[in-house]
Structure formats: structure tokens, C-alpha cells
Structure 1
Amino acid sequence: MAKALLAVVSLLILGNACVVHAAFPPSLIVDMVKIVLDNYCSPEKLAGLKEAIAAAGGNTEILKIPDGESLSRVLSAGLQTTIGDPRLSLSYEPAFVPAAAPPMPALPPQQLAAMLQNAIKLDILEGDIGYLRIDHILGEAVADKIGPLLVDMVWNKVLPTSALIFDLRHTGSGDMTGLSYIVSYFTGGESVIHIDSVYDRPSNRTTKLMSMPTLLGQRYGTSKPLVVLTSKNTRGVAEDVAYCLQNLKRATVVGEKTAGGSVKVDQFKVGDSDFYISLPTAKSINPITGSSWEQTGVTPDVKVKAEDALATAIKIVQLRAQVPAIVEGSAALVADNYAFKEKAAGIAAKLKGLLQNGDYAMLVSKSDLEEKLTADLKTLSGDKNLKTTADTPGPPPVNFTPEMFIELIKVSFQTDVFENNIGYLRFDMFGDFEEVKAIAQIVVEHVWNKVVNTKAMIVDLRNNLGGPTTSIAGFCSYFFDADKQIVLDKLTDRQSGTSTELKTLPELTGPRFGSKKSLIILTSGATAGAAEEFVFIMKRLGRAMIVGETTFGGSHPPKTFRVGESDVFLQIPTIHSDDSMAPSWENSGVAPHIPVAAAAALETAKGIFNKHLAAKK
């Protein structure tokens, strides 16, 4: 450390062309370093500085700098670089007069009221939002004198508000004894809370700052929204206020990163010279984080320019005013519409419990609300399909010509016939029954007829993301015979309270593949929704071998519900398949008979069929 200090000083001196006889006593640097060693707030950062006393004392070249101001700048830079703390500084002040805080004069009530009105800005914004700006943190002594007036003129006007914006963007000074006062008004009075610890280096003593059990006036409490505004000019005790309230999870900090000042900076005369050194002699240690805001500053929860902080805070408060109704409305929608009725009421009750426990109290944006609501709904239900969603309108209808339909079908379906007359059919989305019915003949001519007469078939659903389930019965029917109607699935509709049997169709467009020829269905983790129900049915009925990966675990096409009058929307599955005969595919997916990586599924299926068909020859 001594070398670092001397190196910085030497480099600065080399740039100074005015090297003359020593103008200052050799003891100057030794005395300065001793003050740092005895008083600097973080002694652990001073390891090795003791060696600098002797080394620096013998470096008389430093003292040849001709004027005190230049020397103080050189030595300040050396100290700041060596210790890594820009708060240390040396000044040259031949005409130094000790500063003393003037005692507060005994002013008449009218003058005190006028003084407070100038020092504190209070406003009630639209929506019953309180706005309080304080540019200096008052200490205990002043608060004791003017406390009743403060309560009457300021605090009693703040108390009825539904939320408070506390503006510390211009607060650069204050008394540390005011910390407990301010923080206590925003905590509960049931128990005393450890707010902060301050270590004082000269006395080697740590003081715990606790919340106050009794206060003048009422507390603002712990439930109403509190937003603290900060800027790069927020300094000292104001930083501590913001940091404590932030880490107590009582306030959301909005604005810029703060200055990174200190709870206490003292000035010392260096020996018998006219030099004075300023350095932090105390430091804050937060009991929750175990660290401090000093030097690094307080990082806001929401970073915006200082001039935009108030508008941002107002938006946050307005959002939080809507949150209870949105969460309760979401719970009601789930309770009334979720497909699995036996689970719905419990999910709704637990969601409202999270709201009551304050889990939604610190949200700062609509996206935060949607993200949390989705996470909670998925966790409480175990259903990845129950979540928030965007209310995106569907594409406008397109009037297709027959030629356009043919081109669309060619793109939507892939067919092939492999060795040993093995048919291959791939499509990546199920269509609505009425739409498919209208073009069924075109699909048969351009797709189905290419594979229907093969000895075996591979249906590739590895990339099928689902779609409407209305065409499931029709598609399944092609793989069964016409002489017997089969119940494929039983669907329960929560909203109507009805159950419907899904059966094979007696009449189809085009020929059937039938129930005798072998069928393999390929799946992946992306296979979802309607594709999963098809796989579920064919596996449960023993009609197909499933090769690949367990499917996504989706649901029947969910419905979108608007939550009250808000712009938040929920996606809720309202229909579920009968799971009395086999484990449900919804939420958990369909497990394959032969699990292989999706990329290897097609070759695996071809190998199975080639071996099987070769054995028949």
C-alpha cells in the first residue's frame, strides 16, 4: 500500500515543473496518515498503510510542491487511489474557521410554520396519492422542538392518503438521528425492528438503530404503497432512509442510483499545519443485507431518469390500486371456469391468500403482475396451461379459391412412401372440423390417397402444436373400421356442466386405413393440445405404437377471459378428457411406448416396421 501511495504521488509530481525547496514540514504526511489510521471508518482497508508513514515521511520531494492547494490535491489523489475511497480529501485552509451548527432559534409559531412550508413540500395528487418532498433530514433535537407542528401541518395531511410518494431526489443533508423517526412511521408498532447499525471508528463502538415504539401522531402503517424517489444527488442520511425502507420491503425505490455518500464525515487539522483532512469516520451496516449503501449508492428498484421518477411512481401506485381487484377477479374466474372443478376452488382460495399475505404488494408494472400471476397459477394448479395471456385478435378470414386451398394443403401436409410400402404423413396443426369438412375432398385427393393404401403408416406429430379438437373424431375414424362405432373419449365441459362422448364417424370422405394395418405415431416434447388428445386416444385404445418423447402436457384449447374491467386476460382450460380409463394427458403429457429422442424417432419407427414386414415375407 505504501508503494501505491508513493507511486501515485510521484507520478503527479513529475508533471509539476515548479520543483523548489521544501515548503512544508516533513511531518505533514506522517501526521496525515496517522489521522487516517486512527479514524477511517473501515480499518480493514488500511492494511499496509502503517508502512507508508516511514516511507512517505522520507519522501521530501513531495514537499517541494510550492503551494498548499496543489499539494493538497496531490495528497488527496494519492489517498483516494491507495484506499479506494473518493470520500477522503485534504484541503489547505490558512484562514480556517471551525463551522458550528447554529442553535435553532426560539421562533414564534407563525415563523416556524412559514419555515416548514418552505422546507417541506406537500401535495395531494389525483387518486388520493400523497406527495412529500424533504430536502433535509431533521434530527432528533429539532424534531423534539417542532414535532407537534410537523404533525399538525404535514403528517396529519399525509395520513389519510391511500399511497405516498416520498421525494428524496434533492436531499443532500441531514442528521443521522432522524433515520429512526422517519422509518418508524412506515413500520408497525407491535414490535421494535432493527433498522440499521452504525459503526463509529474513533470510539470503536457500534450503535444499533431501532424503530421507535411510540411516536408523535399515527403511523402510516405497513400496507399502503410507499414509493421513494432518488437521484444522483440523494446523499448521506437520505440514502440510508431509502436503503432501509427498500430492504425492509416497505418501499419501492424509483429514480437514479444515489451518490454513495457517508453517514458521517469529520474534518481533522493535520498537526500544526494549515492542512485539514476530511474522511468518513462512521459507516452504516444494514442488518438485512450485511452491507452498506456507502460509496456504491442505493440502486433503485426501478431505474429511470430523476426527472421521470415522479411520473413513474404515480403509474406504480395506480397499478397497485388495481392489483387486489385483478387478483380476486382472477381467482373468481378460475373458481367458476377451470376445467377441473375439484381443484378450482382450492386454487382460487390459495391465490387470494397470497394477496392477503402481501405477496402482490411490491409489483411495479403490468408485466410484473402478469408474470407473477402466471407463476402462482401454475404453481397452485400444477397446470402449465392456466396463465395470463395477451388478448390477441385472430387473423381476419381469407376467401380461398380452390387453387389456393390446394397450394395451402401441399404446404401443410408432407407425405412419402418408404421402403416396404410404409406410408409417412406429417402435419403440424389440427384444423377446425367445419373448415376441414369443406375441403375434405381436396385433402383426400392431394394427401390421403398417397398413403392410405400402404402396408403400414407413420404419422409424424413431432412438430404438431395442436389447434382445435373438433376434427379429432374424424381423423381417428380413418384408423378404425366402419362396422362398429367406438367411443374415443369423454369430454367434460365445466362451463355448461355437460359431458359429451367423442365417437368414430360412420361416414367419411375417402377410404379408411382401417384397424388391421400397423400404425406408429411419432411424438416430441413439442407435441401439444389436440395432437396430444389424438395420441392419448390411439394409445389408450391400443390402436397405435407411440415412438419418441413424452408430449408437452397441454390442454384442450383454452378460452380467454378478461379480468374485470382491466386489461389483464387469463387463459383457462374449460374442457378436460375422461381419465377414468387411463392417466390424463392434460398437464402431464402422453408417455411413448418406445422412448427415444425426437430426432431419432423416425428412423426408429422405420426400423421397427422394416423388421416387422420383413418377418412376414
Structure 2
Amino acid sequence: MARAILLLASLVIFGNVFSIHSAFSPSLIVEMATVFMDNYCYPEKLAGMQEAISHASSNTEILNIPDGGTLATVLTAGVQTTIHDPRVVVSHEPNYVPVASHALPPLPPDQLIDIVKSSVKLDVLENNIGYLRIDHIMGEKVAEKLGPLLLENVWNKVLLTSALIFDLRHASSGEVSGIPYIVSYFTDAEPAIHIDTIYDRPSDTTTELWTITTLLGNRYGSTKDLIILTSEHTTGVAEDIAYALKSLKRATIVGEKTAGGSVKIEKLKVGETDFYVSVPVAKSTSSITGKSWEVSGVSPCVPVSSANALDAALKIIALRSQIPAMIQEAAGLVADNYAFAQIGADVAEKLKGLVKKGHYSMVTSEEDLKATLSADLAELSGDKNLKAASHTPVMMPPENPSPEMIVDLIKLSFHMDVFEHNIGYLRFDMFGDFEQVATIAQIIVEHVWNKVVNTDALIVDLRYNLGGPTTSIAGFCSYFFDADKKILLDKLYNRHSDTTSEMWSLTELTGHRYGTKKSLIILTSGVTAGAAEEFVYIMKKLGRAMIVGEVTSGGSHPPENFRLGVSDVFLSVPVIHSDTTQGPAWEGAGISPHIPVPAGDALDTAKGILNKQLTGKK
């Protein structure tokens, strides 16, 4: 009731904006509201309207409005603002002539063929890609007359294509009865699918739309690529078709968000006046999603301008044609290279199964493929490090850097401090390659290591360390053990060579060792990854350090990248894993700290532990 009174009140208020005499009957608004109330497809929004109309009928105030066009504009704004439905339009059209129906009169065959050719545009593009443009969706009766001609001149040619681009960018009219036919040609015969439920307000009837089990001619099927092009002008029945095929995951929508129209809008005359109300008299509710595309429109899967939609569709189809081979290649690479051989073999077989099931048939870009493939690999293997990725060029250091440049780089890469009680602090966020580090080892010792080596305890902060090469791990570990005894740090299995190598501590180092006697605490976080985790894993396993912070990232030894086909999609495969004879290693799972605390609190916790230790010793 409140909404209805607000609607009529807004009409009267808008109608009194002007202060000159009107040539229109004072009953115009009431008659207009009555037409709207009797036909609008959402009657639940109009509760109490009848009472409001009776109240408005007793109002003798004369509308002050200069002309019909202005009045229509004002009334349209009032209605749309009140019910939040932009489809309702009031117009003043003294010369309006109703649009003729699309029923076909009896015509000779040659004229019917001309109608088919003018109504439907068909082309076969390069690589046997079909292009079908329809601007008006034919209803059941017209389709019955033109069916055999459509089959012979259009559809049989469409059936021979490998993929289809269905252009609805200019489709702005159509018949509801045509919806099931079009959807059915792109789905299987069985089981029948409940597509839509349409409520018609004037007749107070509800109609269910289902796919049709028996059709004239063959179906395009449910597996070949189907891309629908849309624009902001795509409206009505065409929107219903696009929404149904999108919701069934049968078609990819490329282009612009559609108009958000209605399955049925009627222009209704207001009494004996020249005013009309265009009002949605039927509403669509998808039986697939339980929602409607009306008002909101159909959002594209791939949003691009209408003008670029065709080119975008062709690129998608070209990519999809390569995907089965790319996934097959990925499966082979995983089987042959993944560090854990049995898991790799299982993942490869499951990937091939996903291809056969059409799992990748709706991929729309290389980025989409990378995301989908990565998610599948992680789920199938339990290892987030086995994934699809982009190729990242290796940043090469400058040739022949000056000593000053090297010192500046080292100062930026390392953070050192000495806290109370002679507690050393060392932070670095990336491990370097052994050969590169070896060439500047003396400089690192002089500018970094010598500032912390003589402390009474040391905190190594790896909370922000993202990893890097593992070749320098043995050397770094060795600084925390004594020279008189070689320590087996880890065993590494290499899938490429199918061999296991041993990582031992080094007997000769640049600079002094920290040794085994002084306390060492390593700080970790969920960011700590790769080579940093290998270092933490070794030091924890050998009991040389206390770990404080969070569970580490669960990365891997540096993976190898393999390009898939000629695309820009690469497969990142861990090919090495740490010794698992004593239980699971750190790859994929991360390393749990001895003392779990939030990363932000780890440094204070470590300082508190060492302060107590060193104070007690003194």
C-alpha cells in the first residue's frame, strides 16, 4: 500500500511542476496508473494500488503541464524512480501506429528463401569456424513455415563447422516460443532441461520452457565451441537465450552487458488519449539459476567492446583448439619430471581424464588456463608448487660491477644489528647462487658477517626470505658447525638423473665460523620459502637452531619451467626433493616452529628468550 501511494503521489507531484494551464484531462494519471496496475508483471510491488487510485480519483486539482511530451517525460521519471524499473516508459504519440506482427502470409518458395537469407546471416570463417547472426528470434509458427528452408540454406551448413560464433549483438526483438528451439539445438536430446519459467500478468498464466527432445534436423551438440556475441543493444528474448546457454555452461558470452529488457513488453494505450505506457507484462525466472536477467542484463564472460567482440571470440576459439594438446603435454612433463615420481604418474593420468571430460572447454584466455591448470595440479598432487606460470626472465647482474657497486648492493641486501647483551641480528631476504656468492664472499664477510660473528647469540631473520638458489645452503649452514667434523646436512633426490646426492658441511670457509656452542634462533613466517626453508629444515633437523615464528610457506627446491606448445604458458615443476627416509620433508607442507608466535611478534620473542639465557649465564 505504501509503495502504491508513493507511486501515485510521485506522479501528482511531478505533474504539478509546471504552473500553466493543461489541455489534458485530470483523470489522465488515474487512467495511466490503472493500465499500469492491471498489466505490470510484478503485482506484488503494487499492493494497495486500487485504494490509492480511488483516493487519487477524488482529487480535483488540474494538471499544470505545457505539453504531452513534457508530461510523458516527467511521468516516466516518476514511475521509474518509484519502482526502480527503467523498462517502464510513458510516451505521448499522437501519430503512433502499432507495429505489425511477424506472422508470415502465404508466400511462394523463392520469396521465403529471400526472407531466410535476409533474416539470418551465415558465414564460414577461417579454420572452419561458423558465424551466425540473427537479429530477430523467430517464434514457433514462423519457424514451422521456414523450418525446411532454414535447414537447407543455413543449419546444415552450420552443422559442418568445428566451432560457432552466434552473433546476437543486434538482436532486439523476438518471440518467446523460439527460446526452447534455439537452446535445444545446442544441448543433448535427453534429458530435457527446464530452461525458464515465464509469468504473464494480463492472462495470469505461468509457462514452463523446456528443451525439445525431437527437432527438425541434427543438433549442433553439447561439445563443440559455442560463443555468443552480445552488446548493450541485445535485449529481450535474445537475452533469455544468452542467459540460458551461459547458465548451462554451454556457451561463452563475449562482448558487452546486455540491455536488461524483458521477455515481453507491451505498449498500452491510456484510455482515449494519445498517451501510451510501455510496460513489461511478463517476467522470466531461470529454472537453472533461480534468478532473472531482466533489468540487470546478462554479464559477459569476457567483457570487451561490441566492436571487438568478434576478434576476441576468434582468439578464444584459437586458444581452445590448442588446449587438449597443451594439457596432454603438461601431463607428460609432470609424469617425467616431478620430483615425486608416483604422484607425478597419478597426476598425469588424472589430467588426461579431465581433458576427455571437457574440463577445459570453457577456458577463455591464457591467464584463465594458468589459473585453472594450477588449481587442478595443486588439488591432484597436494603440492601448490606444481603449477602453471608465466615465464619470468632472469635478472642478470651487471657485468664487471665496481667494488663500490657491490658494497652498496650488499648493504641493501643485508640488515645487521647488535642488541642488548651482545645479541646479533642478521636479516636477508634472498639466497644467492654459490658461484656468484663465492666471488664476493670476502666482501660479504667484511661488511656483514664480521659485524655479527663475535656476538654471544644470533638471531637469523628469514621471515621475509623468498628463497632463491639452494647451491649456497651448504656453505651458510657450515658457519654454524665446527670445522673438525663434516656434517651430513641433507640428501637430495634428483628426478632427472634418478640419483640421490648428499649435501655435506664445508671444511673451508671465508671468515670465522659461528660454531656450535653459541645460541642460534631462526625467525620464520608464512612467507619464508624455498631455499630459506631448506636451511631451516636442516638446522631444525640437526638440532642446531631454535625456530620461532610461523609455519613456513611450504615451497620447494627451485623448480624447472617448461613451455607448453607455442603459448606463453609455462609449467613450473619441482624436480628435486629433500630426503624423506626419516619422514615427510618440508616441500609443500612447510616447517613448524619450535615456538609458534605471529610473525610480527617473533623478533621480540626471540630477544626475550636470549636475554634470559645470557642473563642467567652472567
Cα shift at 1:559: 1.2
Q: Match of 1:14, SS?
A: coil
Match of 1:246 in 2: 246
Aligned to 1:4: 7
Per the alignment, residue 599 of structure 2 pairs with 598
- Indicate yes or no: 2:574 matched with 1:573: yes
2:480 aligned with 1:483: no
1:472 maps to amino acid:
I
Q: Output one character per residue of 1:469-512: Cα deviation in whole Å (capped at 9) or x when no partner.
A: 11111221222222322211000001111100111122223333
* 8 Å contact kept, 2:17–2:64: no
- 1:219 positional shift: 0.6
Counting only pairs closer than 5 Å after superposition, residues 537-548 of structure 1 correspond to structure 2 as 537-548=538-549
Instruction: Tell me if the contact between 2:492 and 2:503 (Cα under 8 Å) persists in the aligned partners.
Output: yes
CA deviation profile, 1:163-200 (whole Å, cap 9, x unmatched):
11111111111121111111100011121111111111
Tell me, what secondary structure is at the counterpart of 1:127? helix
Q: Secondary structure at the match of 1:206?
A: strand
Residue 131 of structure 1, CA deviation: 0.5
User: Following the alignment from structure 2 to structure 1, what is the Cα–Cα distance between the partners of residues 613 and 424?
Assistant: 14
1:599 Cα deviation from its structure 2 partner: 3.1
Which residue of the other structure, out of 10, 14, 17, is the alignment partner of 2:17?
14
AA aligned opposite 1:565: V
After TM superposition, give the deviation of residue 322 of structure 1 in Å: 1.9
Work out the CA distance in 2 between the residues paired with 1:462 and 1:132: 57
Could you say if the C-alpha distance between residues 483 and 85 of structure 1 is closer, same or farther in structure 2, counting changes exceeding 3 Å?
closer
Distance 1:599 1:240 in 2: 53
Query: Normalising by structure 2, what TM-score?
Result: 0.92
Match of 2:295 in 1: 295
How far residue 465 of structure 1 moved from its aligned partner, in angstroms, is 1.9
SS at match of 2:589: coil
- What residue number does 1:165 align with? 165
SS at match of 2:176: coil
| Maintained 8 Å contact 2:20/2:66 | no
**How far, CA to CA, are the matches of 1:518 and 1:98 in structure 2?**
92
Question: Aligned runs of 1:357-368 on 2, under 5 Å?
Answer: 357-368=357-368
Q: Judging changes above 3 Å, is the alpha-carbon distance between structure 1 residues 227 and 62 closer, same or farther for their aligned structure 2 residues? A: farther
How much does 1:145 deviate?
A: 1.3
Given the superposition, is the C-alpha separation of residues 74 and 614 from structure 1 closer, same or farther in structure 2, using an over 3 Å criterion? Answer: closer
Q: 1:496: which partner in 2?
A: 497
Rate the CA distance shift 1:478–1:110 in 2: closer, same or farther, 3 A: same
Q: Deviations over 1:408-462 (max 9, x none)?
A: 3333333344444433333222221112222223333333333334433332222
1:181 — aligned with what?
181
Query: Using a 3 Å threshold, how does the CA distance of structure 1 residues 62 and 595 change in structure 2: closer, same or farther?
Result: same
Contact 2:30 2:56 in 1 (8 A): yes
Residues 254-295 of structure 1 show CA distances to partners (whole Å, capped at 9, x for unaligned) of: 222222222223354545666554432222111122232223
Residue aligning to 1:534: 535
Whether contact under 8 Å (1:540, 1:582) holds in the other structure is no
The one-letter code matched in structure 2 to 1:485 is: K
Residue number in structure 1 paired with 2:407: 406
Q: Indicate if the aligned counterparts of 1:234 and 1:258 stay in contact, CA closer than 8 A.
A: yes
Displacement after TM superposition at 1:389 (Å): 2.1
Q: Go from structure 1 to structure 2 and tell me whether the alpha carbon gap of 1:396 and 1:75 turns closer, same or farther (over 3 Å shift).
A: closer
The equivalences for 1:110-509 within 5 A come to 110-271=110-271, 276-398=276-398, 399-509=400-510
Shifted more, 327-336 versus 55-64: the winner is 55-64
Q: Distance in 2 between matches of 1:2 and 1:606?
A: 71
Q: Which moved more, 1:225-234 or 1:275-284?
A: 275-284
Q: What is the aligned partner in structure 1 of residue 616 from structure 2?
A: 615
One-letter code aligned to 1:495: H
CA distance in 1, matches of 2:540, 2:95: 95
C-alpha distance in 2, partners of 1:429/1:103? 74
Which deviates more from structure 2 when the two are superposed, residues 429-438 or residues 452-461? 452-461
Aligned partners of 2:446 and 2:26: how far apart in 1? Answer: 105
The answer (yes or no) to whether the contact 1:260–1:295 under 8 Å persists in 2 is: yes
Of 164-173 and 1-10, the range deviating more from structure 2: 1-10
Aligned residues with identical type, % of pairs:
62
Partner of 2:281: helix, strand, or coil?
A: strand
Aligned-pair CA distance for 1:340: 1.3
Shift of 1:3: 4.4
CA distance in 2, matches of 1:428, 1:98: 75
1:67/1:488 CA distance change after superposition, 3 Å: closer
Q: State the 1:57 CA deviation.
A: 1.7
Task: Provide structure 2 residue ranges, at least 5 long, that are not aligned to the other structure.
Answer: none
Q: Superposition pairs for residues 46-61 of structure 1, below 5 Å?
A: 46-61=46-61
Which moves more between the two structures, 152-161 or 583-592? Answer: 583-592
* Distance in 2 separating the partners of 1:161 and 1:405: 62
Structure 1 residues 97 and 411, CA, compared in 2 at 3 Å: closer, same or farther? Answer: closer
CA shift, 1:604, in A, is 2.7
Q: Is the 8 A contact 2:327 2:352 kept in 1?
A: yes
Q: CA deviation at 1:79?
A: 4.3
Question: Which letter does structure 2 place at the counterpart of 1:176?
Answer: V
Separation in 1, partners of 2:422, 2:83: 81
Give yes or no for contact 2:194–2:288 (8 Å, CA) kept in 1: no
Give the structure-1-normalised TM-score: 0.92
1-side partners of 2:74 and 2:420: how far apart?
86
The aligned amino acid for 1:599 is: G
3-state DSSP of counterpart to 1:542? coil
- Compared with structure 1, are the counterparts of its residues 305 and 445 closer, same or farther at alpha carbon in structure 2 (3 Å cutoff)? closer
Change (3 A) 1:146 1:396: same
Counterpart residue type for residue 524 of structure 2: T
1:15-94 to structure 2, matched below 5 A, reads 15-19=18-22, 24=25, 26=27, 29-62=29-62, 77-89=77-89
- Provide the C-alpha distance between the structure 1 equivalents of 2:26 and 2:451, rounded to a whole number of angstroms: 103
Counterpart contact for 2:227–2:251, Cα < 8 Å: yes
Separation in 2, partners of 1:255, 1:415? 55
Are 2:22 and 2:67, in contact at CA under 8 Å, matched by a contact in 1?
A: no
Q: Identify unmatched segments of 5+ residues in structure 1.
A: none
Q: 1:325 to 1:455 in 2, by over 3 A?
A: same
